[in-house]
Structure 1
Amino acid sequence: MNIEVSDDKQRLDIDKIHRFLCDHSTWAQGISKPLVETSIEHSVCIAAYDDEELIAFCRIITDCATFANLVDVIVWPEYQGQGIATQLMQAVMDHPSVADVRRFTLATSNAHGLYEKFGFAPLHKPDTFMERYRPDIYS
């Protein structure tokens, strides 16, 4: 396997990303392709490729100065367990868009161990965080 990690949005297979998010993710079931396209347009995107095949993807929502949020982290099932998520996360952490941010957040239901390796921990002050959450917005 010849893994390459890139932040070049021109290389992204948006159809493949949309299919995964819409049909297989636990967090974006039913999301429309136009919404996926808009989210990619307004985010820093990092992806991993085996030759030219997209095998992993994530987005960073950031102001590139003070705050960032990591979302839509995907490693396609046939490539899981091969260290690709670690390579993707290293590229995220090395990306200049997040080099100086004070707060970098993410939400995960099953990959705490991966993110802990990169310095992520439970919220420092969970009592100060609030959210507006609409889980059925895509249906």
Structure 2
Amino acid sequence: MMPESELKSWTRQDGQVTYLCSTDPKQIQLDAYNAALESDLLWWAKRLGDDVIRRTVENSLCFGLYMLEGAADLSNQEPPRQTMIGFARIVTDYVTFGYLTDVYVLKEHQGKGLGGWMMGCVNERLDTWPDLRGFLLLTTHQPAVKIYQDKLGARDIQQGKTKLLVMEKRGPAAVRDHVF
């Protein structure tokens, strides 16, 4: 379960549009996350049952990316409506290790710098963990590599003298045709 100290929110204004990135698991729209899992955005995954997807969120540090509708209208007494347009999940012990997965920004919101901004938010949280030994991610998407390098300071650990083997034990829910 996520420690209270990990709760954090960031906002970004882009013209008339306000975006929110939040680690509050109560804000995660599980139906939107599940829709992304069964889309081409997350080709390595598949839709999960309601209880299973809830457990993945409860047992990870999640970053929901939202577009706020009605946030700029100060005369409106209603709170802004949040539409989840992106997501990133860190499997972690919240102290020494993290593994980044399930990162996406919906196609209609790509090209606005939102993925890089979300990774900057991830990095801000990681920088508060003084005992962090390692943070890993796997990607085959070349445009994402630059974002991970620039925003997270990530590097290809296969460069240099170390020969890294990436090993996998496939479970029964693995998407069979995925190859990292």
Cα deviations by residue, 1:57-109 (Å, 9 ceiling, x for unpaired): 11111111111101110101110110000111011111158633110001111
Q: Given the superposition, is the C-alpha separation of residues 116 and 18 from structure 1 closer, same or farther in structure 2, using an over 3 Å criterion?
A: same
Helix, strand or coil at the partner of 1:29:
coil
Aligned pairs for 1:41-56 (under 5 A) are 41-51=58-68, 52-56=82-86
Cα distance, 1:71–1:122 mapped onto 2, change above 3 Å: same
Whether the aligned pair in 2 keeps the contact of 1:31 and 1:138 (CA below 8 Å) is no
Structure 1, 84-93 or 30-39: larger mean CA deviation: 30-39
Distance 1:28 1:73 in 2: 11
Q: Which has the higher contact order (CA 8 A, sep 6+)?
A: 1
- CA shift for structure 1 position 127: 3.0
State the partner residue of 1:28: 45
Out of 34, 38, 59, the position equivalent to 1:18 is 34
Residue 89 of structure 1 aligns with which residue?
119
Q: How many residues align?
A: 139
CA RMSD of aligned residues (A): 2.3
Unaligned runs of 5+ in 1: none
Residue number among 81, 91, 94 corresponding to 1:61 in the alignment: 91
Give per-residue Cα distances to partners, 1:7-66, cap 9 Å, x unaligned: 111111100100110233211034434322211110011112111111111111111111
Q: Is the Cα contact below 8 Å between 1:55 and 1:75 reproduced in 2?
A: yes
Q: TM-score, normalised by structure 1?
A: 0.87
Amino acid at match of 2:113: G
Q: Distance in 2 between matches of 1:92 and 1:7?
A: 9
Pick one of 38, 41, 45 that aligns with 2:55: 38
The higher radius of gyration belongs to 2
Distance 1:31 1:82 in 2: 29
Relative to structure 1, is the Cα distance of residues 26 and 48 closer, same or farther in structure 2, using a 3 angstrom cutoff?
same
TM-score for the superposition, normalised by structure 2: 0.69
